[in-house]
Structure formats: C-alpha cells, structure tokens
Amino acid sequence: MTIGALSLYRPVWEQSGNRVAGQDEDVLTLAVAAARPLAERHAVERVVVVTGTPDVVVGFGTGVVARALDLAEDAPVELRLGGAPALLDAVLSAGPGSLVVGVDLTGHAAASGAAWVTDGPGAELTAAGRVTGSLPMRVRAVGADHTTTYGDGRVERELATVPLVGRLRSADAPLVVGISPGEARRLGARSAALPAPGPAGVLFALAEASSWPGGTVRVVALDAAGGAAADFRPGPVEVVRDERPALSVDERPAVGEDVVIPFSMPAYARAFDAKIGMVAATCSCGETSYPPRQVCLNCGRYDDTRPTPLRRTGEVYTCVKVHVPIPGVAGPYGLAIVALDDSPVRVLAQVADVGRRETGIGERGRLVLRRVAVREGVPDYGYAFRSEFDAAGKGVPA
C-alpha cells in the first residue's frame, strides 16, 4: 500500500501539556479537520474513519463528512471502531483513492490524522504481523462517562506489551504506538512524540517516520492485548500539519446553564447540502445567492440557477463577542460576518479557537466545520471562522 499524503490536526486547546478538543469539536469535526486538506488536494473515492472513542454511534454524520469533503454522491464513508492496530489494518486494506482517518478523542487528549492512499508515488506500507488477544485493561461501556481501568500496570506490561512487541518487532528498533515514551525506551523501541495513543497516534508516527533518514521503519501499533505491525518505507509523502500554538483550556468557551434548544429536522434537512457543502446558487444572470434562493433579486428569474462551490477563506466584515452567558451555548463566543474570497457572498459564523482575544474587522481566516450546536440531542454542524491570527495575535497559516 502506498501513502501519498498525510494530514495531521491537533486542537488549539491545551490542558496539562496535552491538546484537548474545543466545545465545538467532536469525532466528526476532528475527522474533517484532518481529512479536508487532503480532499482539497487529491481525488478521494472513499473515507474510512477509525476511532476507539466514538461519541455518536447511531446517527453518526457520514453525510456531513461527505458534504464537508465535497465527495462524490456515491463515495462511501465508513465509521470503524478500533484503536491503533485498527488504523494500520484500515490503511493496509485500503485501495487507491481511499482516505483513512484516525481520531483520538478523550477528555485528556484529542488529535486526528488522515492518510491518502494512492497508486502513485509515496511511502510504502507493508503488513508485518497481527496479533489478536484479550486483556481488557480498560473498559468503557456504551453510555458510560468514564473508562474503568484494571489497576495494575505491570499486568499489561508483562502479559501484553512485552510479548506483543517481542512478536511484532523486527531486528531494528521498532516505532511503537500505544505505549508511553518511557516504556518504549525500556523496550528498546524508537521514540516519537505522539499526541495520542490510538488511531491518530499511528498517523502522527508515520509522519514522524517519513522524515527519518535511513530505510524501512517497523511500526508496531498496540491496543492492550492486540497489535499490528507494518513496515514503512519512507518515500515522497506530502505531510500537511494543522497544529496551532496552544491556548490554555482556561480560555476555552464553556456552557454555563444548560437548556434544550429547539430543533427542526425539516429545517435542518432543507439547509443541509448548501450549508455543509458551502454551495451557493448562481443565477443565469450571474447573481450568486447563499443560502440559495428561488427568486433572483437581480433579474427576477425563478429557480434558474446552478450550484457554485464557495471558497472557505475570507475577511471579517464585522464581528462582536457575546459576553453575556447564553444557556446552552459555550461562551463567551464571537460572531463574525465573513466576506468570502472571490465571491459577493458573506456568511455569519461563530468564531472558533480564539480564547479571550477579540477578533477584529479586516482579519482574514478560514471557515472550518464545527459542531455549532446540539439541539434536542442532535449535533448540528456548520462553519466557524478561524482567524489566521493565533491567540497572541500572531499570524499563522489560515
């Protein structure tokens, strides 16, 4: 299998040295954050999202992923449950044109990555062993808030980690995902700073290995009693990183009082394609409307339009910060009207990843998919404005 490109995403919020998700992020938005840069650059025929920590199982927004990535109508999006080994399995079994996305999302670490599989140039990944065992050191039942951990780390080390690494490694020091850097050293493994131990961690490890001098690297992915190994032969892999300077989680907007926000499924459905795909309507006279409208305000024609994809970059026309606590909305939050590039269209969006800093008129940035609200239990996705300035007011790539 050939990996042509890798994309890595970490949320901006930092807590105890780790990055954690924003209040407007979930497995789906983390997946899109990593996948979108590759979908913009390459033809994607199918998407597999691998996560060991699904937050939505029934009603997962595969359609949201498809529209947010501008996939073809018939492109399948699959949600697969599993840890680091499952990510290696997914890449090894993927055909050219596949995008394999890994998401780690827990209360203390969040990251995502994506790999684009190609039949063109890239880095080769070859299967090198698989072990499936049972040592349920950590268990989280569906609906449970916390994970139950068997309280003896040496049991995992002696019964799982040591024998698994022994069986899956090659003669050279392997790169192991799913164990701490200290454990890796003790086992004579190569060390890499990985933001998360699961599926996303594997993709960060591959990106790390792609820059190492020398030949093939054995990658071993562990998940308690299971493990998978693959040989990664570095090649021309494009690596895209979206890792902004950290912002303390103390500045992360938070929901104060909670409330059930009314939701209309028909209104959601009517808005969906244009909203999540960011597709405007252009009348035969040239007038562009977003959201698409039936009657052209320029020439009066009725429903004579073609869909027009919008750019996701633009400039703030006006913006405000909402300081007053609004029940059910994480705050303080910013609202901005953003004039999109190369288009007469402006969009209203919440401001993402900004902390205490106030966004200013004229700031440039990008619209990114976020979970804008949860209404009557239904996650509602849309676009938020992410400035090209970080929290300190310094420029970062949009």
Partner 1 sequence: MRDVAVVGAGMVPFGERFDQGMKELLPATLRNALASVDKGMAKPEIQAAWFGQLQTSDGHPAGVLADSCGLLDIPVTRIENQCATGNDAVRNATLAIASGAVDVALVIGADKTRETPSVSTFWDWMGLARDRGWDYPLGLIAPANFALHVARYMHEHDVAPEHLAMVAVKNHHNAVTNPIAHLRMEVTVEQVLAAPRVVGPFGVFDCTPQSDGAAALLLAGGELADRYTDRPVWVRGVGLGLDRVMHAHKTDMTSFPATVKAARAAFAMAGIGPSDIDVAEVHDCFTGVELMNYEDLGFCERGQAKKLIESGATELGGSLPVNPSGGLKAKGHPPGATGVAQCVELFEQLRGQACNQVGTPRWALAHNVGGPTAVSAVTILGAARD
d(CA 74, CA 280): 21
Q: Pick the closer one to partner 1 by CB: 72 or 361.
A: 361
Site for partner 1 contains 257 (CB under 8 A): yes
Residues 184/101/61/364 CA torsion (nearest 10 deg)? 100
Query: Torsions phi, psi of 92, nearest 5?
Result: -65, -25
Site for partner 1 contains 68 (CB under 8 A): no
SS3 content of the chain, % helix, strand, coil (to 5): 20, 35, 40
Site for partner 1 contains 137 (CB under 8 A): no
CB of 255 to partner 1, least distance (A): 11
Q: Pick the closer one to partner 1 by CB: 123 or 372.
A: 372
H/E segment holding residue 65: helix 62-68
Which one of 92, 246, 373, 398 is in contact with partner 1 (CB under 8 A)? 373
Which one of 239, 322, 396, 398 is in contact with partner 1 (CB under 8 A)? 322
Q: Pick the closer one to partner 1 by CB: 181 or 327.
A: 327
Site for partner 1 contains 333 (CB under 8 A): yes
Inter-residue contact 354 to 387 (CB < 8 Å): yes
d(CA 194, CA 372): 29
Site for partner 1 contains 259 (CB under 8 A): yes
Q: Is 127 helix (H, G, I), strand (E, B) or coil?
A: strand
Classify residue 244 by its DSSP letter.
P
CB of 366 to partner 1, least distance (A): 17
**Stretch touching partner 1 by CB under 8 A, among 41-49, 149-157, 239-247, 257-265:** 257-265
d(CA 196, CA 190): 16
Inter-residue contact 207 to 239 (CB < 8 Å): yes
* β-pairing verdict for 109-118 and 2-10: antiparallel
Which one of 291, 307, 309, 395 is in contact with partner 1 (CB under 8 A)? 291
Inter-residue contact 197 to 102 (CB < 8 Å): no
Q: Pick the closer one to partner 1 by CB: 81 or 299.
A: 299
Site string for partner 1, 341-370 (x = CB under 8 A): ----xxxxxx----------x---------
Angle between helices 199-210 and 84-92 (to 10 degrees): 60
DSSP letter for each residue of 281-332: EEETTS-EESS--SB-TTT--BS-EEEEEPPSEEEEEEEEEE-S--TTS-BS
Q: Pick the closer one to partner 1 by CB: 239 or 271.
A: 271
Site for partner 1 contains 318 (CB under 8 A): yes
Which one of 58, 142, 171, 324 is in contact with partner 1 (CB under 8 A)? 324
CB of 352 to partner 1, least distance (A): 12
Site for partner 1 contains 157 (CB under 8 A): no
Write out the two tokens for 127.
Answer: 């299967």
Residue for token pair 């996948």: 35
Which one of 139, 320, 356, 393 is in contact with partner 1 (CB under 8 A)? 320
d(CA 325, CA 312): 29
Site for partner 1 contains 335 (CB under 8 A): yes
Site for partner 1 contains 191 (CB under 8 A): no
364, with CB counted inside 10 A (0-12, 13-18, 19+), is: middle
Site for partner 1 contains 271 (CB under 8 A): yes
CB of 83 to partner 1, least distance (A): 33
Which one of 158, 186, 317, 376 is in contact with partner 1 (CB under 8 A)? 317
Which one of 96, 129, 235, 328 is in contact with partner 1 (CB under 8 A)? 328
Count of residues near partner 1 by CB under 8 A: 42
Q: What are the residues binding partner 1 (CB under 8 A)?
A: 257, 259, 261-264, 267-268, 270-272, 275, 290-291, 317-324, 326-329, 331, 333, 335, 337, 345-350, 361, 372-373, 375, 380, 382
